[in-house]
Structure 1
């Protein structure tokens, strides 16, 4: 569907992607202006729609591109040496911190998309979420050592509790930031995430497993 766009040289592709990411991140799907996107990218609207057909297809491409970039850079670099489930979560948390600095607009877009209430955008993203989470979970669990969990603990439920903890924490942070119109303090998020993980280790592991220092 996006063959013509994929054939572009990397510099032009990056210019268009960055312009779209910035506009959707600022305004969400419904209020985003394709006029602003083409102005920033230095192309005509006719050319933009030649590549993407319409605004919805552009949004879908940007969403898929953003999620795939995060998946590749977060889980692609997951250490094969670490088999500890919580250590892997900590690796992912630290990697996110690096990615925020490397791809700030991409993260801002993900934040906005996560809370976007435009029905046409929401239905597309919701349809993709289950598959994304399943893929991420598969990467996290591959080769995981579960022997550190306390005897008698339902390991599947313990892992679900850990996942729910961070999903809920993330939703709380994003929702609060949107309501207050404030920026997300990622440094604070990653620091608090580490504290939550240390607490969960003490609750669920046979011992505290050391530290992450």
Structure 2
């Protein structure tokens, strides 16, 4: 992308970001129109491509932007004070759910990013998503007291299994053509977390 984008007034940057998020959230990548994005942002398509050389560059920027926004709002002062692995997961899930409920386009876009179809951006998204999952325990659980786990329990593997269960829930909804219900998966995620707590924590921490 062209660094001149960051020299635009904040209001104009946000207009381009919001327009892109709306269009990418409501359409598959290949059907998302840069003409629509430019029109909603109140700029010409030529100017849009001056800042972002092509649709793929714009899409990947919006992807990185949403990750930064969500992380900034989730990893707050209280987040850094939590030392219990499962309490941290619950707090993070609640914060993300609140963000998603206030920003429906954000939720739809994130779902498309984590479950990309066979499109031009799929390889980049799949690779980045996997790196994020692999490194999350080192990035976001630095203050967790892992001594609460039994010696034979692997926190990183538990995190992966919880993510796989959430992935299975969403994949099933997609196969059935049913909507993704945030409250429903939050309820299930809590039950899964409670189950893993009982299976993996030392008795004195149950």
TM-score normalised to the size of structure 1? Answer: 0.86
Residues 73 and 9 (structure 1 numbering): CA distance in 2 closer, same or farther, change over 3 Å?
A: same
Q: State which of 160, 166, 173 in structure 1 corresponds to 2:169.
A: 173
Contact 1:34–1:45 under 8 Å retained in 2: yes
Query: Structure 1: which 5+ residue stretches go unaligned?
Result: none
Q: Counterparts in 2 of 1:199-210, with a 5 A limit? A: 199-207=195-203, 209=205
The answer to whether the Cα contact below 8 Å between 1:75 and 1:139 also exists between their aligned partners in 2 is no
Tell me, yes or no, if structure 1 residue 30 matches structure 2 residue 26. no
> Once structures 1 and 2 are overlaid, which stretch shifts more, 105-114 or 199-208?
199-208
Q: Distance in 2 between matches of 1:3 and 1:103?
A: 27
Higher relative contact order (CA 8 A, sep 6+): 1
Task: Note if 1:47 corresponds to 2:47.
Answer: yes
Distance 1:141 1:125, change over 3 A: same
The alignment's C-alpha RMSD in Å is 2.0
What corresponds to 2:182 in structure 1? 186
Which residue number in structure 1 is paired with residue 121 of structure 2?
A: 121
Q: Structure 1 stretches (4+) deviating beyond 3 angstroms?
A: 207-210
Q: Distance in 2 between matches of 1:71 and 1:148?
A: 26
Residue 136 of structure 1 corresponds to 136
Deviation per CA, 1:129-174, whole angstroms, max 9, x where unpaired? 3442344222333122122223xx334x2x1332122211221232
Residues 1:84 and 2:80 aligned together = no
* Contact 1:19–1:40 (CA under 8 A) maintained in structure 2: yes
Gap runs ≥5 in structure 2? none
User: Offset of 1:208 from its aligned partner?
Assistant: 7.7
Q: How many Å separate the matches in 2 of 1:22 and 1:192? A: 28
TM-score (norm 2): 0.89
